[in-house]
Chains A and B, each alone.
Chain A
Amino acid sequence: MDQATLRFVIQLAIIGVTFFMLINASAALVLAERKIMGFMQQRYGPYLVGPHGILQPLADIVKLLFKEELRPKDADKWLFTLAPIISVTAAFAAFAPVPWGAETTFGGLLDMPVKLGVADVNVAVMVVFAITSMGVYGIVLAGWSSNSKYSLLGGLRSSAQMISYELAYATALASVIMLAGSLSLREMVDAQDGFWLGFIPRWYVFLQPIGFLIYTIAGVAETNRAPFDFPEAEQELVAGYNTEYSSVRFALFPQAEYINMTTMAAVATDLYLGGWHGIPLLDRFGLGWLWFLAKVGVILFAYIWIRWTVPRYRYDQLMQFGWKWLFPAAVLNLLATAAFMLYFNA
């Protein structure tokens, strides 16, 4: 087959692999969360289904698929079904501009190298931000269309929290954009290539430690994970916006949440941890994506670790933290970055 068709097929395969990776990531996170939670609480997690409980997510999905599909009588028919669809579509689509590997020719199979990633857009950071801000609609519509007090409160609180933490998120992003001089994620990763003094990698986390903290905290709040998961906490709001959902529609919400977590972790790796750079040996053989996966795995482990260690914020404490502490810190970080860049003329 000629080069053009081969290239087309390989790019389709890359899209398929990315989608497959994301779905497996959400299943693996279901298992990882319960296992890690178990080990942190000094017990084994799921243990019976498959060797050491590896097939537990499969059992969960089968159970959810066989449940009855309920819809409250006065729930808005269209919006009730549309809400989880919006959530999950936004979650998957947000991963599209994220690059996960260097350009590779697959060992000389192709004449021109192909980029490992679904799409390489020159405004990639803004695309990720735009699509994650569309994910708010899934939650707010779920809360409203369920026609139930718990759902409405949960939906409103959850979406207010998400749009509040988007400010700190975007401002932390702006500092990195200034450092890299480009909005394209691939160019930002390539700007982090190389080493200082021969052994410290040029990752932005060393230039922007506070920015990294702000970004991850805002990311945790954006995905409604603990300690910022008051709107969907069982003890407070009977599962919040997804109270009235069951079976497949319900399964889509946690899946959207896990995929959002993965996207946040992947974007944080690209922005602050150097993406797939850092081990020159792997870069030479085009296996940088393994190092990328390792970094994303570390960040996801940190997500789960934080959830089962730290108590939950109350809702007003959560909002105060976002508006009065995190956002001013992000703005100060931006000013400091701008001042340093002017001073060093970087």
Chain B
Amino acid sequence: MPETVLFYVFSAVAVGASLLVIGQRNPMYSIMLLITAFGALSALYIQLDAPFVAMAQIIVYAGAIMVLFLFVVMLLNAPQEDAAQWDRTHPLRRPGVSRFGAMLAVLLTVQLVWALLRVTDAGAAVGGRGNAAELTSVRSVGRVLFTDYMFAFEATSVLILVAMVGAVLLAAREEKR
């Protein structure tokens, strides 16, 4: 019973914060709300017997990627949305368009929910199969990661190196000759 209450609380926070993220004018508020959503998701992962993923979510997403976003927003000191005159008279700013877009988003939600609920045993309780003690242990995650998924692991490290070099090259100031 308390499990169900916790699930509803955390999913309400995650969904509510995500909806607020796309509705904010100030990107700083969007970032702080997204961090809240990530925290709620992390709690959901703990409920799904994945504590390592939950902590990795906080360390990587909320602690590193969002700091990156925050730095970029602060350093660019970006003007907020529809500040300029030509922003305000943009055709996409009319209320009719926004409402149509929101309706399409709701339609997408309905489609996704309909498709996902037709998955086999979508009504079965999560946690029926599998040994919870073994799944929460980091040892089993490490064992599978370094044997079955070894190639993906090594490829990911190359990917991070490439991304690092690419980001530095793209954002570097051009030398004034």
Contacts and interface: CB of A to CB of B under 8 A. Distances in A.
Whether the complex brings A and B within 8 Å at their CB atoms is answered yes
Contact of B29 (A78, A136, A144): A78
A159 B29 CA distance: 19
Given A122-B137, A123-B51, A156-B74, A130 B63 contact: yes
B74 A130 contact: no
B64 A130 contact: no
Contact of B52 (A76, A126, A129): A126
B40 interface: no
A136 B52 CA distance: 21
Contacts of B32: 79, 82, 137, 141
Interface string A137-169: 100110010000000100010011001000000
Interface in B47-106: 51-52, 55-56, 58-59, 62-64, 67, 70-71, 74-75
A163 B59 CA distance: 11
Nearest to A129: B59
Contacts of B29: 78
B67 A136 contact: yes
Given A79-B32, A130-B55, A123 B67 contact: no
A76 B71 contact: no
Contacts of A130: 55, 58-59, 62-63
A134 B138 contact: no
B70 A140 contact: yes
Interface string B33-46: 00100000000000
A130 B74 CA distance: 23
Contact of B63 (A79, A122, A136, A160): A136
A1 to B, nearest CB: 22
A289 B136 CA distance: 29
A133 B59 contact: yes
Interface residues of A, number: 25
Contacts of B63: 130, 133-134, 136
A167 B162 CA distance: 19
Contact of A121 (B51, B67, B70): B51
B55 A127 contact: yes
Contact of A126 (B55, B62, B67, B75): B55
Contacts, number: 57
A123 B55 CA distance: 8
Contacts of B13: none
Nearest to A155: B74
A163 B51 CA distance: 23
Contact of B64 (A122, A133, A152): A133
Interface string A191-226: 000000000000000000000000000000000000
Given A79-B32, A163-B64, A144 B74 contact: yes
A183 interface: yes
Contacts of B136: 122
Contact of A159 (B58, B62, B67): B67
A136 B71 CA distance: 12
A128 to B, nearest CB: 10
Nearest to A140: B70
A129 B62 CA distance: 12
A281 B63 CA distance: 43
B67 A140 contact: yes
Contact of B71 (A121, A126, A156): A156
A156 B77 CA distance: 13
A203 B75 CA distance: 45
Contacts of B75: 156
A76 B74 CA distance: 13
A152 B138 contact: no
A162 to B, nearest CB: 9
Contact of B58 (A79, A134, A152): A134
A123 B136 CA distance: 9
B138 A183 contact: yes
Nearest to B74: A144
A79 to B, nearest CB: 7
22 contacts: A76-B28, A79-B28, A79-B32, A122-B136, A122-B137, A122-B138, A126-B52, A126-B55, A126-B56, A134-B62, A136-B67, A137-B32, A137-B67, A137-B70, A140-B70, A140-B71, A140-B74, A144-B28, A144-B74, A156-B71, A159-B67, A159-B71
Interface of B: 28-29, 32, 35, 51-52, 55-56, 58-59, 62-64, 67, 70-71, 74-75, 136-138
8 interchain residue pairs of minimum CB distance: A133-B63, A126-B55, A130-B58, A130-B59, A123-B51, A130-B55, A144-B74, A123-B55
